[in-house]
Amino acid sequence: MNAAKRFVLICGLCLFPLVFLTPAQEKSSTTGKDLFKQNCRVCHSKDSAQGEYSPLSLIQDQWKKFFTTKFASTHKDVRLPGQEKKLLETLTPEQLKTLQKYCIDHAADSEQPQTCSG
Ligand code: HEC
């Protein structure tokens, strides 16, 4: 192997991890609040027939119970308006975790109760 080839090879090896790490970090920047607005608020805003739900609508225990026992059964057939896929199929397990944490962290009895609209 000549010097030029070796140089190219070493540079390639150094850049390789950078290419992989950069997009992964951007992807996880969606916040629980954004997710709630996109995936829950559409059906649970102020005048919704299904009732208004924000993190502060329930206390922490109620949210925990809701996500572990009720969410899958009460939402198994719901679709976001204009989407072909069901809500439960479009949410990744990671997004669901983020949503759940957001609701619990800002529940009525949390340190910082929050509506998702502010
Ligand atoms: C496409 C519309 C739709 C979307 C999106 C939606 N919901 Fe619902 N939600 C409903 C309907 C319909 C019900 C009533 C279900 C029932 O009573 O059987 C409901 C009920 C609920 C309830 C009350 C459940 C109970 O019986 O105690 C909560 C809490 C709730 N949703 C939270 C959420 C959260 C959090 C999200 C986002 C992750 C969400 N919803 C997304 C339609 C939706």
pLDDT in tens, 75-103: 999 999 899 999 999 999 999 999 999 99
Ligand 1 centroid to Cα of residue 50, in Å, is: 7
| pTM higher than 0.75 | yes
- How buried is residue 15: exposed, middle or buried, by Cβ count under 10 Å (0-12/13-18/19+)? exposed
Place of tokens 């950078």: 18
Pocket test for ligand 1, best of 34, 39, 42, 43 (most atoms within 8 A of CB): 43
Ligand 1 atom at shortest distance from the alpha carbon of 87? 5
The protein residue with its alpha carbon nearest to ligand 1, atom 33, reads 40
Work out the average pLDDT over 48-74.
Answer: 97
d(C-alpha 66, C-alpha 29), whole Å: 25
Map out the domains of the chain with their CATH numbers. Answer: 31-118 (1.10.760)
| 10-29: pLDDT as tens digits | 655 555 555 555 544 445 56
Give the chain's length. 118
Q: Is the pLDDT of residue 116 over 50?
A: yes
